[in-house]
Amino acid sequence: MDADTGLRWLTPRRRQILRLALLLSFFIWLFARPLREAVSMWVPFAAFAGLELHFFASGLLARRRVAEAETPLGRLEEWELRSRDDVPAPHQRRGERDTVVVVDDVLARNLDDAGRDPFEPDGLGRDGDGGLLVRAWPFELAAAALVAAWLVIAEVRSVVPALLVLVAASLLGANLLARAFATPQRPGAQRHPGVIHLRQLALILLVAGAVFLMVRPTGWAALTPAQHLRGEQVFAREASRVASKPVAVQCDSAGSHTGVRNDADGAAIVGGREAWLAPSICMTLYDQALRGRHDSFDRASWAVLVLAHEAWHLRGQANEGLANCFGLQSGVALGQRIGLSSGTAARMMRFQYDQSRAQFSLGRAEYQLPSECRSGGRYDLDPQLARFP
C-alpha cells in the first residue's frame, strides 16, 4: 500500500475508530490485571505515540483533500449552479487564475467516500450491516471469543500472546462503540426501534461481560483467605527444609518487597526467617502443590527456582549467583515434594540452568552462575549424582 492509498484508506470514520482503539488499549491494559501483568508497560506509551501519528496523518490527509477540492472555476461553475445556487463560492487569487474552494457538502461527501470500505454498501459512518474497519459481526464474534477464552482458560493464555488479546479487545470495543453511535444517512438504512433496542441491549451485555472478565479478581487475589493460609504454610514448609530451620513465607500482594518497584519475584532476609514471593509465583506454586497442575513448564520451573533461591538466602547465602546455583539443585527435590515427577522436576531445573547460562545481562550480573556451578564442580552439592542440577 503506497502513501496515497494509505491516506485515502484513512477516512474520517476509520481515523475515529483507530483513535478510540488506541485510547481503549490504555484503559484496558490499566484495569485488566491479567493483561497488565502479561503486557509490557511500554505498550501504553506506544499507544499514545500512535495517537500522535494519527494526528499527523489526519492533518496531512486534510491538506491533501483541500488541495483536491481546489479546481479551476470554469470546470465547476455549471455544477455549482446546478447543485446549490444559494451558496456563494469563495474565491482566491492564485497566480494568474481564479480558483474555488468547494464547500458544498455533497461534493465533500463524495471526496470523503473516495476511500470507503468496499464491504459496506451504505458507506462509512452509516448504520449499515458492513464493518467499519472490517466486516463487523464476524470480527466482533471472533474477537470476543478470543478475549473471553484467554481470560478464562489457562491453556489459551499459554499459547496466545497477551498483546494480541489487547489489540483484539481494543478494536472490538472501538468497533462496537462506533456502530452503536453511527446514525443512518439514508431512509433505506432506518431500522425498527425494537431492533435498535435489542442491539443496544446486546452491546451493553457484551461490554458488561467483557468488563467483568477483565476486572474480576484472578490468580492469587481470587483465592480465599483460608486458601492463602494453606498455600503459605506449604511454601514455608518447603523453604524450611531447604533453609534447615523454621521460616515463614508470605505472598507479597501489596508489592512492598517484590513487584514493579523492586523488580523481583522473591525477596528474603539473608540468614533471617522471613521471605516474600510475588503473587504470580505463589499462584503457580499453589496450583502445582494443592491442585496438581501448572499453566506451563516455563512458569512452573521458574516458580520452583524462586522459592528454592529465597530459601538459600534464608539459610545464609548472600551471593545471588550461588543462591541460584544451590537453588537449582535443591529445586529438583522441592519440585518432587510439591507433586512433580522426578523426571519433570529434573528437566525443569535443567531448563532453568540452561536459561541462566544463555540469558546473562550486565544489568543482572550478580545473578550469573559461577563457572564451578557444574557437575563435579566446586559448588556441586552431590557430586555422586550423574545428573546436574
175 vs 13: CA distance, rounded Å: 10
pLDDT band at 94 (very low <50, low <70, confident <90, very high): very low
- In the structure grid, which three cell numbers stand for residue 99, read together? 480558483
**Element (H or E) spanning 363, and its range?**
none
The reply to whether the predicted model has a pTM over 0.75 is no
43 alpha-carbon distance from chain centroid: 8
Distances (CA, A) of 73 to 80, 92, 99, 105: 10, 10, 5, 17
Choose the weakest-confidence range: 86-90, 227-231, 278-282, 382-386: 86-90
Torsion of the alpha carbons at 139, 141, 143 and 145, rounded to the nearest 10: -160
The alpha-carbon radius of gyration of the chain (Å, integer) is: 30
Half-sphere exposure of residue 320, counting CA atoms within 13 Å on the CB side? 10
- The yes-or-no verdict on residue 210 having pLDDT over 80 is no
pLDDT at 200: 66
284 vs 305: CA distance, rounded Å: 12
Choose the weakest-confidence range: 77-86, 106-115, 198-207: 106-115
Q: Which amino acid is at 257?
A: H
Query: Rounded to 5 degrees, what are φ and ψ at 92?
Result: -135, 150
Query: Rounded to 5 degrees, what are φ and ψ at 375?
Result: -65, 125
List pLDDT tens digits, range 244-293: 999 999 999 888 888 655 568 999 999 999 999 999 899 999 999 999 98
List pLDDT tens digits, range 358-385: 876 555 778 889 999 999 999 999 998 8
Number of other CB atoms surrounding residue 72 within 10 Å: 11
